[in-house]
Structure 1
Amino acid sequence: MTDTTAAAAAPELDLDALEATARAAAEYAPGKWFWRGNTDFEEPSLNCIVPSLGRVEILGHVPVDREADSFEAREHLREFKDLFSLTTTEEDAVAHMEDWLWADKYYEVANTDSRLSVTSQRNTKVPVRDLAVFEVARHRGLPDDTPRTHDGIHRGDIVDVRNPVARHLAAASAETVLALVARIRGLEARLAHATKVARQEMNRADINGRGSATAHRSLEDATDTIHRVGEVTEFLDDILENTFGGGPTEEYYIREEEKLANLSFASGLVKAALNGVSPDEYVDSEQAPKDIRRPARCFVLQGTQPISRPAS
């Protein structure tokens, strides 16, 4: 048969409260907890190792003497009378209760009951029922240590135990632990995803960094080229300044004219390129003819006439 009951929702986690409860329990019972015992001689118990104290029982059992003036004694007597109401006498009831109370009345050795116990900070075993917080006390605003014998406590239902270890055991339920595990795994998954994304971004940044370095080197190379072209331009200008033209013969003048025209045109072309003008645009521009320089006529010998260039 399939169980169609809806699964209980995961509890809401109050991490501050859980941490406070766990820290309080750790002061009582630090380190790892473990079960121990020998069922031939004693009840099993939950233990830990406390520095300077050795092994300490965290949760176990303690024998408690039976008492005539106790809730258990009254309940036991009532049940006895109810069961044997038709035949029992008062003497029978007294004898029955003495058998219930005493293992050996002559030596005052009481019968005992095994009670669930926790260990106090003084390393003494205390019955859990002596540390119980009664539900009625909470509802009526009575102190948590109000005993069962108080007139206002008409029921024995409890809601808490005044012991850090007991409160921690109640707080760390299986559902709470599973909710913590689910939250941790969710955070681990988000961390793994974030780590993957971060690595991808780092790789991208590294690639971009290498690209930026390449671009930076290319820019440096381009800047260096421009600098060198500028030096060439200055060199051409120096040559132009030192080109005087003319000469003793017409042929020398023609050679100087061609040389000067070529150098001045080259200088103008380079300067245009530095300003973003292509060679074709420069050749067709109005500036190109203006940049071409021609040598001036000069005298070959003092008192002679300048050589005239043949008409073309």
Structure 2
Amino acid sequence: IVFPFVIYAARLIVRAAPEPALAFRRGFIFLVCGFYAPALYSFWNLLTRQDDLPYYPLAFILVSGGLLAISPYFARYDSRIGRYFRRIPLPAFVALLELILLIASRPFWIDRARLETGLLRGVLKLTDPGDYVLRCFWPVTESIMLERLARHLVVDNAAARAVETRACVAAMKGRMPLRAKQFIWKNYISVGNDLRVVGRFLRPSPTDGRRMEFEVVIPAPYKIIARDGPVTGTLDGTPYEGARFLAPGEHTFVQTSSRTQLAALWARAVDRNFLPEKYFPRRPKW
């Protein structure tokens, strides 16, 4: 529907040009911009912000020329606005408005990279050389790959690989397959900055408030911790005295203390002062 209007507008631009060479240049730039955007949004359904980059320079030239052309019409008015346009062309006002909107929407004094740097800092503190981290990167989880995963054309083995490589750290940043998200939500605990470590919150049994059963998926050393102090009890029938390697499967902890919000968390995370985010007041994210 849009293409005939683009051709008609290009014809008007060509006819308004004072000479053939200028008419060709104006018409060519307008047709490139006019056909690219409608064709992109009509025939390509995997749209990204990068898709708009090819026509931005030409669109800038076209819009700037149009603004310069209509600027004298505003300057004719005998008013305060007319006096402004006689001194400063219309594109300068548009550029100033765009600069104000840019600063208002993306204030440069706010460090928006803080979450990324905090995530990277946390991963480096938690891991040693040779450790694996469960994270799905954008080039892997772009729209085409997500569609292939949804149609089962590609095996979603992120969870299986995490267990196989004993990835005790997961980064919840960006898009990732649904099964990978569900696996992380179930088997990892958030410690802040989109960073999660393997562990489970312990829930009391309906029949015995001191008995807590939980499942371990990734074999690793774990510690039983609580928000309000040290924990005592028995783990799998033996006294709990600190970090213990737990194999995959069901485990049972019977508490002899009176702590609340217990969690079985990766021992290295506890040793390096990475505790569940749930234990601390919520902090605003910039």
Regarding TM over 0.5, the answer is no
Which has the higher Rg, Structure 1 or Structure 2? 1
